[in-house]
Structure 1
Amino acid sequence: MVSLDGAQLYESKQSDCWLYIWIILNLAPDKRYKKVHVCPGGFTPGPNKPKNIDSFLFVGLHHVAALQREGLRIWDASQDHVFSSDLYLLFTTADGPGLVCWDGMVGHSGKNGCRVYCPTLGRRKFHGTHYYPALLRPRGNCAPGSDHPDVDVFELPLGGSGDYAHNLLRLVSAPSQRQWDARKMETGITKLPLLLGLKPSRSLGVPLCMTTDLMHLAGNLSDLLISLWRGTMECSNSDDKDSWDWAVFRNEDVWTSHGQAVKDAGMSIPGSFDCKPRNIADKINMDYKTWEFHLYIFCLAPALLHDILPERYWLNFCKLVRGIQIMSQHAINKQDLEHAYVLLCSWGHEFEFIYYQLRQDRLHFIRPCVHQVLHLITEAMHKGPPICYAQWTMERTIGNLGQEIRQPSKPYENLAEEGVQQCRVNALLATMPELDDRIKGDPTGSVNLGEGYVLLRKRDKRPWLPTGEEARIISEFIGHGQPIHRFKRWARLRLPNGQIA
């Protein structure tokens, strides 16, 4: 899998750059994100966006194409045998704008802007050029090309349209620039993607290799919902924010109180969930991180918004939360998948009715992330749980490499050099794993109980004899009539899932 994203190296100054990494899907999801297993692919310096990103991606894809054609020769030292390994490229991931670099599509604002290339067409406002993926037709007159009938959310076409090859042929055979532009709008394709140069039998190909991205999706959904609830969403001249009964956080006192509640609730989140979210009212405009949004929206908000958000909006929101929670699992059974399908499709249908309300001046409420949610289930059926190919690995890599930069001068050159050095170290450790001197095993002073349970310090210095209710519970556990011995109490227990109680 290859993942592309942009990064800002310094918070206080313009320092955008772009990088892509290779992720080894043979490794389990709990290992592939680790620094030693991530392979940096290339770095594009900023701060200006590159005019031709393909020129930076070409080198890496050229190597992949050569390995697919010739095979990767590997020596198995345990058997003194050389074999040829076939290299497969399954998925390409990026945020919405970045995905255009891989698939050559029109982007999320186009008439056919679905990131998995389903044939559902967007709708635009009068005199507007931005298309929105609303399934339900606005009431009254519609802009030309946006008056197609309603689309049943439970019959949404699958991604990876089989018309891609035909549409691409139509585009490249356009006899003039005018025809090219017209066919570009009709097909949603803007160019020939580099991925078509890979061996077809060693790649899913375009558009099947395009995936949903749960990480950016969570961030985009958070931004959409908070903008609605705070009343900061753009309001058309024909609309009135006073009619937005869902905008409960327009009241600054309510918003401030809610932010403090988020901060206080963070004390109850297990340490394995990473850092607790900060006060969202104070920090939302100051680099509130994607993981904080994720914890807030899909963990804390359902409880904190009860009796604050009007009931129909709260119930609709809870359907989204439960559906995303199911889709964030590394293993999803059939019953959960069916349940998530009903929840997320119902959420999408209700969302259009209660927020957009089939009003043309509210079409911008239906952002691409709303449509992407509706594809999560079918994409999971074809490609596995979406958490397994989300861009959290890329986010972690950006953080790892950014921390290695010591000199403020020449930041892009330094970043590229750190990436090259990481590749060298990873290759060396893969060849000679005995050189890996990182801390292994359980922490000093801990006791491994087996089956994934580990007792962690602190611990009583002297044995302790239980009394009262504690003695009764222990007596029931070991059996009545058995003597209660003295114990040494331990402060923490690491569970098999990595959480610490």
Structure 2
Amino acid sequence: MGADEAWTPEDYMREQFERSVGDLEGYLSDEDIALLRAFALKVEDNLSDATFDKFRYTFPKSDLGTYKAAKARIQFLAGFKPVTYDCCPNSCMAYTGPDYSALGSCPFCGTSRYNSQKQAHKHYTYIPLIPRLQAYFRNSKLKEEMQYRHKFESTDRLANEDDPIEDVFDSANYKSLKGTFVNVDGKQYTHTFFNDPRDIALGLSTDGFCPFKRRKQTCWPIILFNYNLPPDIRFAVHWILCVGVIPGPKKPKDSDSFLYPLVQELLQLSIGVTTFDSQASALFKLRAYPILGFGDYPAISMIMQMKGHNGIFPCRMCLIEGLRVPNHRGTTHYVPLHRGQHPNVIDGTTRRGITQYDPANLPVRSHTQFMKHARLVQFASSNQEAEELGKACGVKGIPLLSCIPSLLFPTSFPFDFMHLAYENLIKNLVHLWTGTFKDLDHSGEDYVLSGSVWEAIGEATARSGSTIPGAYGARPQNIADDATACTADSWSFWALYLGPILLQRRFSNPDYYNHFIKLVQLLNLCLQFSITRDEIQKLRVGFQDWVVEYERYINDIFNFMH
């Protein structure tokens, strides 16, 4: 491309594909290479099967066959096939592992596994991970990209605590793994985590979403990210490794049964899988270790086997106790720091009776403590005892992922910034400012903006799109018309760039505006590509102060500190 031409992710993917095909030349026939190009076009541009079938008429000299024949050939060339498991029609569980594989009906909803023709009602398709990781080392260009982790880190960098944090390899969890011997199922092996430059660091993510508009059915993709790839490409769709999709239509009752095939492979990869390195022309032990798991709160609660955000102990990082809104029918818990005037604290009916939490010294969970609670619940003498023990710690049992030696509970499962900040915090602030937060009485409160003011802010937000370059993102929409249609990206842009201008001098009490600006400053600090230890401490103290100030402002809502 010319020096003045813009380089897009699509251009990069196309170049990588050309390189991949170039590496295959001499190994595959011209017909197979042409087939791979056509099939890549179908996949990357989401072409239908029928459209692919039309290729052979549109390009008669290409010798392309039918989609069915092409698919069979691609599967053969790939060297591996998806694995199909039976699952409950309601997606409660998959018939995997020693607990479920031999069952004839779902233990949760009672639905039969088979129909009258002895065929499974539904299937869960798992796409093996190991062959795809091995394929990286058969491609010289991809193997070169995979050297990012090794190039990024150095002995000096890992030892120097003053270096800024710029990537996942600067994290405390990753550093604690380095030099530690791998232990799988009680057996310690002779190799340590990430002692080979070819060892792969992985991230695990899942989240429920509705694939169809105006329908409530959900499905749950299970995807992996390859942290050995450079940051500018590792999260691109082209490089994401999807191992399966929990088909829905409902949230699974036992997500571990769907994770079972993946966990089996991850345990193999922790020990080592014999793989051919084409560049070195030698065999080696390929090892890969997941170091992070992330998603929204319900998704992470699901794979961590926790009660979730509505539990009495909802936080996966600490044991702060949740409280219910006084004189309210709802079962949702919330977690204020100051709780001395809450009726349940006063009458002693809370489990811990703490009147005030120190935000700088919360009862943080440790891996040892988490697993102790998990075992107590898992091996309780009865379901009732398990339920009571679970309420007292927020854990429902032993998560299957805990057998992966590179994962630490809960620190390997950090909070997802997108959901925490933009899908939760900013949205709740807007609800508070517009008097629609929960079903509380906001009448007469000075933090509430009048309808006309909020409509003006919405109109100004929409008009701003005419003077903002498209490179900054999607055109801002009128948030006063339909805030539910706003994405996390649009909330981020509004909070960081538009809100500070549009909210200025809008509140009758300027303290609320200043409080919002403090949050914007903290969010901007979080989004830096490089962050120092001093800045992390500034964030820690800054968010603690912001929450304390937030509680002070909203005390009138909850009537706690009069």
TM superposition score normalised by structure 2: 0.59
**SS in structure 2 of the partner of residue 280 of structure 1:** coil
Q: Displacement, 1:72?
A: 3.1
Please show how residues 373-412 of structure 1 align to structure 2 within 5 Å.
none
Match of 1:225 in 2: 429
Match of 1:19 in 2: 221
Q: Displacement, 1:152?
A: 1.6
Match of 1:345 in 2: 544
User: 2 CA distance for matches of 1:134 and 1:46?
Assistant: 35
Is the contact made by 1:125 and 1:360 (CA closer than 8 Å) also made in structure 2?
Answer: no
Is the contact made by 1:61 and 1:195 (CA closer than 8 Å) also made in structure 2?
Answer: yes
Are 1:114 and 2:322 matched, yes or no?
A: no
Is the contact made by 2:375 and 2:397 (CA closer than 8 Å) also made in structure 1?
Answer: no
- The one-letter amino acid of 2:263's match is L
- The one-letter amino acid of 2:494's match is Y
CA deviation profile, 1:378-411 (whole Å, cap 9, x unmatched): xxxxxxxxxxxxxxxxxxxxxxxxxxxxxxxxxx
Q: Displacement, 1:157?
A: 4.0
- The one-letter amino acid of 1:341's match is R
Match of 2:384 in 1: 178
- The one-letter amino acid of 1:279's match is N
Q: Alignment partner for residue 190 of structure 1, among 380, 392, 396?
A: 396
Are 1:145 and 2:355 matched, yes or no?
A: no
Match of 1:292 in 2: 490
Q: Alignment partner for residue 280 of structure 2, among 58, 79, 83?
A: 79
Match of 1:260 in 2: 459
Match of 1:311 in 2: 510
Match of 2:210 in 1: 8
**SS in structure 1 of the partner of residue 511 of structure 2:** helix
Is the contact made by 2:339 and 2:560 (CA closer than 8 Å) also made in structure 1?
Answer: no
Are 1:91 and 2:292 matched, yes or no?
A: yes
CA deviation profile, 1:410-464 (whole Å, cap 9, x unmatched): xxxxxxxxxxxxxxxxxxxxxxxxxxxxxxxxxxxxxxxxxxxxxxxxxxxxxxx
- The one-letter amino acid of 2:486's match is Y
Q: Displacement, 1:37?
A: 1.1
User: 2 CA distance for matches of 1:140 and 1:130?
Assistant: 15
Match of 1:283 in 2: 482
Q: Displacement, 1:210?
A: 1.2
Is the contact made by 1:138 and 1:359 (CA closer than 8 Å) also made in structure 2?
Answer: no
CA gap of 1:304–1:358, structure 2 versus 1, over 3 A, is closer
User: 1 CA distance for matches of 2:216 and 2:384?
Assistant: 37
Runs of 5+ unmatched residues, structure 1? 363-501
User: 2 CA distance for matches of 1:30 and 1:158?
Assistant: 33
Q: Alignment partner for residue 371 of structure 2, among 115, 140, 165?
A: 165
Are 1:100 and 2:301 matched, yes or no?
A: yes
Q: 140-149 or 42-51: which moved more?
A: 140-149
Percent identical residues = 28
CA gap of 1:72–1:266, structure 2 versus 1, over 3 A, is farther
- The one-letter amino acid of 1:120's match is I
Match of 1:59 in 2: 261
Is the contact made by 1:323 and 1:341 (CA closer than 8 Å) also made in structure 2?
Answer: no
**SS in structure 2 of the partner of residue 178 of structure 1:** helix
Q: Displacement, 1:332?
A: 0.6
CA gap of 1:167–1:40, structure 2 versus 1, over 3 A, is same
Are 1:123 and 2:323 matched, yes or no?
A: yes
CA deviation profile, 1:2-44 (whole Å, cap 9, x unmatched): 1001222232444422111110111232211112211012112
User: 1 CA distance for matches of 2:412 and 2:439?
Assistant: 37
Is the contact made by 2:377 and 2:395 (CA closer than 8 Å) also made in structure 1?
Answer: yes
Match of 1:354 in 2: 553
Q: Displacement, 1:46?
A: 2.7
CA gap of 1:140–1:131, structure 2 versus 1, over 3 A, is closer
User: 1 CA distance for matches of 2:342 and 2:373?
Assistant: 32
Q: Displacement, 1:160?
A: 4.0
Runs of 5+ unmatched residues, structure 2? 1-202
Higher relative contact order (CA 8 A, sep 6+): 1
Are 1:335 and 2:534 matched, yes or no?
A: yes
User: 2 CA distance for matches of 1:205 and 1:177?
Assistant: 27
User: 2 CA distance for matches of 1:264 and 1:145?
Assistant: 50
CA gap of 1:55–1:85, structure 2 versus 1, over 3 A, is same
User: 2 CA distance for matches of 1:187 and 1:130?
Assistant: 16
Q: Displacement, 1:161?
A: 5.6
Please show how residues 340-489 of structure 1 align to structure 2 within 5 Å.
340-357=539-556, 359=558
**SS in structure 2 of the partner of residue 192 of structure 1:** coil
Q: Displacement, 1:87?
A: 1.1
**SS in structure 2 of the partner of residue 41 of structure 1:** strand
Match of 2:521 in 1: 322
How many residues end up aligned between the 2 structures?
351
Q: Displacement, 1:264?
A: 2.5
- Measured on the aligned residues, the alpha-carbon RMSD in Å equals 2.3
User: 1 CA distance for matches of 2:414 and 2:356?
Assistant: 25
Q: Displacement, 1:214?
A: 0.5
- The one-letter amino acid of 1:305's match is L
User: 2 CA distance for matches of 1:178 and 1:58?
Assistant: 27
CA deviation profile, 1:361-389 (whole Å, cap 9, x unmatched): 89xxxxxxxxxxxxxxxxxxxxxxxxxxx
Are 1:212 and 2:418 matched, yes or no?
A: no
- The one-letter amino acid of 1:290's match is A
Q: 258-267 or 209-218: which moved more?
A: 258-267
**SS in structure 2 of the partner of residue 210 of structure 1:** coil
User: 1 CA distance for matches of 2:505 and 2:367?
Assistant: 43
User: 1 CA distance for matches of 2:516 and 2:367?
Assistant: 30
Is the contact made by 2:296 and 2:416 (CA closer than 8 Å) also made in structure 1?
Answer: yes
Q: Alignment partner for residue 301 of structure 1, among 489, 493, 499?
A: 499
Q: Alignment partner for residue 156 of structure 1, among 362, 370, 375?
A: 362
CA deviation profile, 1:192-218 (whole Å, cap 9, x unmatched): 2111232x2xx1232221111011112
- The one-letter amino acid of 1:224's match is N
